[in-house]
Chains A and B, each alone.
Chain A
Amino acid sequence: MSSFSPDELTARRLAGQAPGPSMPPAPGTGDGSLVDDPAVRAPLVLNNRSFHDITEIVCGYAENKPPRWWLPAFLFASSLAGFGGLMILYLVITGIGTWGLNNQVDWAWDITNFVFWIGIGHAGTLISAILCLFKQKWRTAVNRAAEAMTIFAVICAATFPGIHIGRQWMAWFLAPLPNANGIWPNFKSPLLWDVFAISTYGTVSFLFWYMGMIPDFATLRDRADRRLRQLGDSAARIAPFVPIRTDKARAVIYGLLAVGWRFSSRHWHRYEAAYLVLAGISTPLVLSVHSIVSMDFATSILPGWHTTIFPPYFVAGAIFGGFAMVLLLLIPCRVLYAHMKDLITLRHLENMAKILLVTGMMVGFAYSMEFFIAWFGGNAFEVDVFLNRAFGPYWWAYWTMISCNVISPQVFWIKAMRRSPLVIFIVSFFITIGMWFERFVIIVSSLHRAFLPGEWHMFHPTFVDIMIFVGSCGIFLTLFLLFLRFLPVFPIAEIKAVLPQASPHADDHKKGAH
């Protein structure tokens, strides 16, 4: 085969043997990353970027003036978050009666939103942990943003169990704390397992995210420090008449966060060991979290909930919904931010579209298997619940779920579709809606008709229900916009490490040795 691998070309260019950057991508490879030849390794970063380019691009997002849309977007998102917060306050001072819950449907939007958000988080951990163990180098392009998304989603998720308990000021009873009443939690309850699973998941994700950012904080610190040394008193101030230099603030804040990281190889050695262990323990953790969430339902004896398929079905659904959210966030960023297309290539989007297709079919399989087992199990109540789901008063929710989650990802069988950012964005949008409806269908359609027809009720959301959900979207977006503005959006050190010139053998090509 005569064609060079793209990373070999880069190595040659950096060794001064090949002409400068920005060669047009080979025909039929999209932006240059869609190489179909298995003998050629697709480049992970486009346009032959040097180490310095990566530093400039990624630090630029945190250092330069934000794009013009950022402030309006932030004001909009934080207004939603604020309004949602007011609605939560109203709920706390008035009571759970402000929601549309009734005697029969005693879990509805609250737990739907909880499962929806916690599921979204799972893609971040899958990317940062499982893809790390499988040595999938393409994860470096998306892992930081996906991990950030995980933490913000867990924050949104944790809100709902906290506020749905009715007397929110008693929430501390969830923790095994000694108290004057001598009351302890019931460790045989799956709801308590859930408390431990979610809090562990949130904490470990945060530790993992923070540890990954330490070297990048050090990069931001060093750049601010250098500008301070060069500019001295002429460095820009935070605001007029405020005697604090922007770079001084950066050097102090990023410096504190960087804990004195000095890029020592002895440190890197322990860092990599810790990173690998964290990836190793996060993998069973992420699988356990949504399994335990599903046990909130599966350990009950309610038809429609009491099934053993729930843990794997929930985990697959979580990864499915989470990847859709990653794509929903990153595809616009890729268009709106300079040079981000070099870091998140069409190849990365295609890989994630393939994951959507696979996990979409897993949930499709689970949907059909639930029906099959309901019939095969010969339990009349079980059969009735599932017929009611598909053809009862909530048929529209069920078929929204099926069309969004099972049918819409099927377009990714076509190569052109899974390589088109617009198509991926639209399908991800449908999937996000479908995954919300999946949880709504599981929870409400199982609850609203109990064993006696006298106990049949419909659920109607109130304004407070709706606004608290909208508010949680606002919290999520606000946090993500702050992340885009102030933190290293890409793992700078990890991306440098997967560049072709990072290999200590990169210039062996010119010597003909290998």
Chain B
Amino acid sequence: MGAHSGKAYATECGEPIHGILAEFATPAAVVHAAETVRDAGYARWDVHSPFPIHDMESSMGMARTKLPLAIGIVGLSGAGMGFLLQAWVSTQGYATMVQGKPFLAWQAFVPVTFELGILSAAFTALLGMLMLNGLPRWHHPLLKKERFLSVSDDRFFISVEASDPMFDPDKTRALLEKAGAKSIELVEE
């Protein structure tokens, strides 16, 4: 196979290549390496760490997520729907005079409006986070690598996907080696 960017690569056995995986020993090492990869201009790559590393966003050049905005919009809509539900029930669905209060006694609707707003925001936070992350996904080429399993323990990894336009098995490997990787291996699809 030619080493042109954007091409599909395969191992010697003919298996398609998902990308390349480099291991680092400490948070500091992986942060410095991430800065190197970011500066080299890669787009489809990732850092894997047992816990969120402080300010990895800027070391990777990540854009800020829009998730909080989505949560806010859905939360406010949920609150609005909650208010409409109560207003409809109290004025149309089952208008009952209680304690001489007006049918549309909006003050009494505040607690339920608030609770329904919180409820919809909370569901959006969890499900939105999973959706934007492309989860649930029970198979991933990285998870087949035995070495990668220690990411949930005490190791740090950088993975670069073969679909990155900059990807080149030799050049990317050389870059990661220069960035201080302890070990580097190819990941089959």
Q: Write the residues of chain A forming the contact surface with B, with a CB cutoff of 8 angstroms.
A: 50-52, 55, 176, 182-190, 192-193, 196-197, 200, 203-204, 207-208, 210-211, 215, 218-219, 221-223, 225-226, 229, 255-256, 259-274, 277-278, 281-282, 284-285, 288, 292, 295, 492-494, 496-497, 501-508
Contact = CB atoms under 8 A, between A and B. Distances in A.
Interface string B117-136: 01101110110111011011
Interface stretch (B5-13, B86-94, B169-177): B86-94
Contacts of A229: 146
A492 B154 CA distance: 11
A472 B94 CA distance: 36
A277 B125 contact: yes
Contact of B85 (A176, A269, A271): A176
Given A503-B27, A504-B54, A270 B67 contact: yes
B184 interface: no
Contacts, number: 216
Contacts of B166: none
Given A187-B112, A196-B116, A288-B111, A260 B139 contact: yes
A263 B146 CA distance: 15
Contacts of B105: 188
Given A277-B68, A501-B27, A506-B27, A266 B46 contact: yes
19 contacts: A52-B153, A55-B152, A55-B154, A184-B94, A193-B111, A196-B112, A200-B118, A211-B126, A218-B152, A219-B153, A260-B138, A263-B151, A265-B60, A269-B52, A273-B65, A288-B115, A494-B51, A501-B27, A506-B26
A159 to B, nearest CB: 20
Contact of B57 (A189, A269, A508): A269
B85 A55 contact: no
B126 A265 contact: no
A219 B50 CA distance: 9
B3 interface: no
Given A193-B112, A219-B153, A269 B31 contact: no
Interface of B is mostly: helix
Given A188-B98, A262-B140, A268-B49, A281 B27 contact: no
B62 interface: yes
Given A278-B126, A292-B111, A504-B27, 9 more contacts: A186-B98, A193-B111, A219-B153, A222-B153, A259-B138, A274-B67, A277-B67, A502-B53, A504-B55
Contacts of B31: 504
B1 interface: no
Contacts of A505: 28
Contacts of A504: 27-28, 31, 53-55, 59
Interface in B60-108: 60, 62, 65, 67-68, 71, 75, 85-86, 89-90, 93-94, 96, 98-99, 101, 105, 108
A285 B136 contact: no
Nearest to A15: B26
B118 A285 contact: yes
Contacts of A274: 67, 71, 125-126, 128-129
Nearest to B148: A262
A187 B109 contact: yes
A281 B121 contact: yes
Nearest to A229: B146
B143 interface: yes
What 10 pairs between A and B have smallest CB-CB spacing?
A: A51-B154, A259-B136, A184-B94, A274-B129, A497-B51, A268-B52, A219-B152, A260-B137, A193-B111, A265-B47
